[in-house]
Structure 1
Amino acid sequence: MGPNWDHMGWWGMGWSWVFLILLLVGITVLIVLLVRVFAARDPRQSPHRTESNRARELLDERYARGEIDTTEYDERRQRLDRAPDA
């Protein structure tokens, strides 16, 4: 075998290490992003809690439009605040 038996020489091995490092960095970044996305969700917020928040928003809107008076608003708001969190 002559001096040209390996056409790539050290460059071939060098590039494979670069790609391996880039792959590992990419996987690490993906894992970090996934952890941040799932950690950003509030596990304490149940579907009932979301519905309660929406009900409160609707109540606030009705009060702001003048559809209900202050007494009715206060009464309904207190009922919503006392609603059990299931």
Structure 2
Amino acid sequence: MPFFNEHWGMGAGFGGFGLIFMLLGVVVMALVVFAILRLLTGSNRPGPTDREDRRALSILEKRFANGEIDEAEYNERRRILEGRDRS
């Protein structure tokens, strides 16, 4: 049985491609884990975060309170800011 003694080890059945396929499998698994984590954390949302939304509304309220904008402009801008989450 010289076949087993001469070709025993990593990549014996695939030539030098055994290691390449193994590394490719590790990369694919890492990409799958990354995609799952990204979906679960919601970090794929390209829009502003909740903190940015609250900050924008706070600035808008201060401008309205200071008299920099009138009620119509305040209501329009607030509607736009609050509508960003739904789009």
TM-score category, normalised to shorter length: 0.3 to 0.5
Higher share in helix: 1
Q: Normalising by the residue count of structure 1, what TM-score does the alignment of the two structures yield?
A: 0.43
Q: Normalising by the residue count of structure 2, what TM-score does the alignment of the two structures yield?
A: 0.43
Higher relative contact order (CA 8 A, sep 6+): 1
